[in-house]
């Protein structure tokens, strides 16, 4: 296939997927809370920030149907709907921040496009294909989940920041956030939000006593607990218990591995809780926090495993649902978290400098603080969380948890997480003893 045909096919694919993305940009939001599509910085021609006709300086958050022929310096940004349209207010704030950048850089053509982070039409897949057939339409700055950063760096789809972000901004990151992006003493990207921070939600009308910090004491209460025992959150829950029991994650050869005895100890906590009916039977039916939460909301369970972003979206105005640290073997479990990262995708010095300027404006303490609060995401910067309402009790809780959290060591699709997911399901359904499930999980990782 000659190069012209390849380019034509790539552009046709671009147009087809662009239409799909515009039609399906709401895939990760609830239908009744979904904001209108933002095109050229507007929602149906109305400014998302003010409800008035949009100003001409409002930047694009749309997928162009054709490549732009540039007669001036350009900067192209790709980001997914989870970030561009996390909430209606968050989208309006992001639009305003991009408009401010454009106003401060009137000579730069800024184009911001929505792209998925998974599937054939994902950001990284587009970059892989575009390098060979249409490099001029590739982005300079992208937002991706942190667990995609390492493979993207390995494939040279993105490149380390190398001085584009001031050292003070790196030092202000929560320790786990910096650990998530450090590779060989180089910063692969800048983490701007943290996700998946585990916490124990409870109904304060049903639970009036102090919540125990030990899991065993919690399971002795005459209440019920629900969590997704058939998916990644369950595997992560077991991993936190495993690490608390002294388990390691690699063998002597440096390969991913699990130790049987610490894992058996971790799984025993769930097995015992299920045997005593503290863990609800329905837990084994759920694979996501979104599935298990309604059982908690309905009052069938008084406790539920949740995450920071889910709780921020679902907590009630009356304050009936509260959260605390997840109890562990002797003290609360050390939370594991992940997040999202801004990454540079160009080696061109001029484009890197432009991308760095936009990146620095978006991660400024006030900018990131305002957007993250409106978008219901915990910021990765301490200075950004300082811009959240300090009279909100959740903010002080989040500060403490983020300070003691650790980076999630694996992606949810890794072999070690698959083994843990399977082990949790087996013990919560009482299909296997903790010892047998632990032995099988450890064996599944052996070469």
- Model confidence pLDDT, tens digit, residues 337-367: 999 999 999 999 999 999 999 999 999 999 9
What average pLDDT does this structure show over 318-345? 96
What average pLDDT does this structure show over 43-47? 31
pLDDT band at 72 (very low <50, low <70, confident <90, very high): confident
What average pLDDT does this structure show over 114-119? 94
Q: 3-state DSSP helix/strand/coil percent for the chain, to nearest 5?
A: 45, 15, 40
Residues 6+ apart with CB under 8 A from 121: 17, 20, 21, 115
> Which pLDDT score, from 0 to 100, does residue 60 have?
40
Residues 350 and 325 in one domain: no
Per-residue pLDDT tens for 294-303?
999 999 999 9
Does residue 425 have a pLDDT over 50? yes
Contact 247, 259 (CB under 8 A): yes
Which CATH number is 279's domain given?
A: 3.40.190.10
In a domain, 54, yes or no: yes
What percent of the chain is predicted at pLDDT more than 70?
84
Does residue 35 have a pLDDT over 90? no
> Which pLDDT score, from 0 to 100, does residue 2 have?
45
In a domain, 404, yes or no: no
- Per the prediction, the chain carries an average pLDDT of 87
Q: Which string of DSSP letters, residue by residue, matches 356-414?
A: HHHHHHHTSHHHHHHHHHHHT-EESBHHHHTTS-TT-HHHHHHHHHHHH-EE--S-TTS
Residues 14 and 159 in one domain: yes
DSSP state of 61: E
What average pLDDT does this structure show over 151-176? 96
Residues 368 and 312 in one domain: no
In a domain, 400, yes or no: no
Residues 108 and 212 in one domain: no
Residues 125 and 156 in one domain: yes
Residues 47 and 64 in one domain: yes
Cα separation of 195 and 402, whole Å? 10
Which pair of structure tokens corresponds to residue 353? 């400098």
pLDDT band at 71 (very low <50, low <70, confident <90, very high): low
Comparison of pLDDT for 219 and 38, the residue scoring more: 219
Does residue 102 have a pLDDT over 60? yes
pLDDT band at 6 (very low <50, low <70, confident <90, very high): very low
Alpha-carbon radius of gyration of the chain: 23
Find, among 398, 399, 206, the residue nearest to 307 by Cα: 398
For residue 297, what are the CA distances in angstroms to 254, 303, 353? 43, 10, 48
Residues 361 and 284 in one domain: no
> Which pLDDT score, from 0 to 100, does residue 67 have?
52
Find, among 110, 63, 65, 61, the residue nearest to 86 by Cα: 61
In a domain, 416, yes or no: yes
pTM above 0.85, yes or no: no
Cα separation of 258 and 265, whole Å? 12
Which pair of structure tokens corresponds to residue 320? 């009936």
Total domains in the chain come to 2
Cα separation of 372 and 171, whole Å? 19
Contact 284, 428 (CB under 8 A): yes
Does residue 22 have a pLDDT over 80? no
Comparison of pLDDT for 380 and 18, the residue scoring more: 380
Measured torsion, CA atoms of residues 45, 51, 52, 53, in degrees rounded to the nearest 10? -10
Residues 172 and 61 in one domain: yes
> Which pLDDT score, from 0 to 100, does residue 412 have?
86
For residue 111, what are the CA distances in angstroms to 12, 25, 138, 141, 370? 20, 18, 11, 11, 22
Instruction: Compute the half-sphere exposure of residue 212: CA atoms within 13 Å on the CB side of its CA.
Output: 13
Cα separation of 238 and 274, whole Å? 14
Per-residue pLDDT tens for 245-258?
999 999 998 899 99
Expressed as residue numbers, the domain containing 246 is 204-335+409-444
What average pLDDT does this structure show over 274-297? 97
What average pLDDT does this structure show over 327-346? 98
Does residue 136 have a pLDDT over 70? yes
Residues 323 and 348 in one domain: no
Residues 366 and 306 in one domain: no
pLDDT band at 36 (very low <50, low <70, confident <90, very high): very low
Residues 143 and 259 in one domain: no
What average pLDDT does this structure show over 192-202? 97
What average pLDDT does this structure show over 269-298? 97
Phi-psi group of 262: left, alpha or beta (phi > 0 → left; psi -120 to 50 → alpha; rest → beta)? alpha
Residues 293 and 363 in one domain: no
């Amino acid at each position: 296939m000659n190069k012209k045909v390849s380019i034509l096919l790539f552009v046709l694919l671009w147009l087809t997927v662009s239409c799909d993305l515009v039609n399906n940009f709401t895939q990760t939001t609830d239908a009744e809370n979904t904001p209108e599509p933002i095109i050229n910085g507007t929602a149906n021609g109305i400014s998302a920030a003010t409800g008035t006709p949009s100003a001409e300086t409002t930047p694009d958050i749309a997928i162009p149907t054709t490549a732009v022929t540039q007669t001036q310096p350009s900067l192209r940004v790709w980001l997914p709907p989870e970030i561009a349209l996390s909430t209606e207010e968050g989208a309006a704030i992001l639009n305003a921040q991009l408009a401010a950048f454009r106003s401060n850089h009137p000579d730069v053509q800024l184009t911001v496009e929505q792209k998925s982070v998974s599937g054939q039409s994902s950001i990284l897949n587009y970059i892989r294909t575009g390098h060979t057939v249409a490099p001029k339409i590739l982005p300079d700055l992208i937002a991706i989940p942190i667990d995609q950063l390492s493979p993207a760096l390995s494939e040279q789809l993105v490149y380390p920041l190398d001085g584009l972000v001031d050292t003070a901004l790196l030092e202000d990151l929560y320790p786990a956030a910096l650990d998530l992006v450090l590779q060989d003493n180089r910063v692969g990207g800048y983490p701007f939000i943290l996700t998946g921070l585990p916490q124990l939600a409870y109904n304060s009308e049903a639970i009036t006593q102090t919540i125990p910090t030990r899991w065993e004491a919690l399971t002795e209460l005459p209440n019920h607990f629900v969590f997704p025992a058939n998916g990644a959150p369950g595997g992560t829950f077991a991993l936190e218990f495993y690490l608390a029991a002294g388990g390691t994650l690699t063998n002597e050869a440096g390969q991913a591995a699990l130790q049987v005895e610490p894992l058996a100890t971790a799984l025993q906590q769930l097995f015992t809780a299920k045997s005593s009916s503290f863990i609800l039977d329905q837990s084994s039916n759920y694979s996501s926090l979104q599935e298990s939460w309604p059982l908690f909301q309905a009052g069938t369970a008084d406790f539920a495993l949740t995450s920071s972003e889910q709780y921020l979206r679902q907590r009630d105005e009356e304050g009936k649902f509260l959260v605390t640290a997840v109890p562990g073997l002797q003290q609360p479990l050390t939370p594991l978290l992940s997040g999202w990262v801004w990454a540079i995708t160009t080696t061109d010095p001029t484009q890197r400098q432009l991308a760095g300027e936009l990146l620095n404006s978006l991660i400024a303490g006030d900018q990131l603080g305002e957007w993250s609060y409106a978008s219901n995401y915990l910021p990765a910067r301490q200075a950004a969380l300082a811009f959240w309402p300090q009279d909100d009790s959740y903010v002080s809780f989040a500060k403490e948890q983020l300070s003691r959290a650790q980076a999630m060591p694996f992606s949810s699709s890794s072999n070690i997480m698959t083994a843990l997911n399977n082990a949790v399901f087996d013990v919560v359904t009482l299909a296997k003893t903790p010892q047998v499930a632990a032995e099988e999980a450890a064996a599944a990782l052996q070469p």
